[in-house]
Structure formats: C-alpha cells, structure tokens
Amino acid sequence: MYFKENWQSMAEKEPPFGHVDIFQTSTRDRHPRRPASNLPITAKKGPIHMKIENQVTLEFPSRSANEGFARTAAACFAAQLDPTLEEVNDIKTAVSEAVTNAIIHAYPDTLGKVVLKLRIREGHVLEIVVKDWGVGIADVEQARTPLFTTGNEERSGMGFTIMESFMDTLKVRSAPGRGTTVTMARKISRRAGR
C-alpha cells in the first residue's frame, strides 16, 4: 500500500494502450430507487474534468483477502462526504465487484498488482478507479453482457451489471495483455442541514 502525493499528475497520464475498448454509460436515468443526479457525463476518451478536493491511491497484490480491504478502504474514504448507509453499501458493493474482477479474471494463474484510486471531486462526487495490468478484456461490450463470464461455473457474470446499477457512471478501458481500468463515479447526496 502506498500514498502518492503527486497523484493528480500521475492520474491524468494513463499508460498508453495499443488497442483500447472504451465503454461508458450513465445509469442515472435507469434508477427508479435513486433520483437523477447532476453528475456530468464525460466524453468517451477524456477524464472527468472536475476539481479534485481529496484523493488517495492504494496498491495491493491480487490476493482474494485484499478485496475486503479495498471495499472497507473505499467506504472509509467516502465517509468524509457523509453518505447515507445505502450509499456506503452501494460503494462497497461496486468496489468489491471491480476488485474481484481484477483478482479473478485479470490474474487467473498468478499474483499481480491492483491499484485502487479514490478521488473526491467538487460537487460531492466520489470517483473510484480500479486498475490492473493483467490479461485484459478482448471485447468489453461482450464482457458487460449480463451472465457472460470467463470464470468457472461459480462466477455469475454479473459484475459489470452490478457496478453499473450502484454507480452514476461506469467506464471500462481494456486491452488484451495490457490490463483493465474501471472508472466509476457516484454523486453523494447532501443531507439537509449540512
């Protein structure tokens, strides 16, 4: 685990990819249980351009025990936004799915590096980035299809669908042999009187 003080300059300079599939959606119009947020949708090839108010970067090996660590770290970091219990549970679930994908699918036969970047952006927006340097995804759109999995019969194939249902935006960048970057964002509602 480590914290990078000069993280913003590093965050905007993703390593170059050869072939990159980018797929981004906004789920705010499909959530009957959550009101639409005012979270801006980014261009398909650009970062979210909102001022960063706080950030942290965690790096850990792709061991299954670290999934719980990542989930808890994200919830603790998000706590400064004073989220509701439902929002905390949504964040933990989305992070759990993204990190589990990196552990199970990116490094199926070996240990590798997983990076979790957490940012608080202006407007009460939590941005979560999960990056690996594993096997990558050949067809991101197919991988995002519900019930599609490259894992064994124990895997449900619902990881991206679950992430999409709990976040306002989801972007997946991947290249075979070069890894995958999952970027999610969620606007945390401000509570009355705060």
**Which pTM was predicted?**
0.70
Neighbours of 81 (CB within 10 A): 21
Residues noted as catalytic:
97, 101, 155
Note the pLDDT tens digit of each residue in 81-106: 999 999 999 999 999 999 998 998 88
Residues in CB range of 50: below 8 A, 6 or more apart = 40, 121, 122, 123, 125
Tell me the CATH number for domain 19-28+52-187: 3.30.565.10
First CA to last CA distance, the chain: 33
Note the pLDDT tens digit of each residue in 120-174: 999 999 999 999 999 988 766 766 565 455 554 554 456 677 788 889 999 989 8
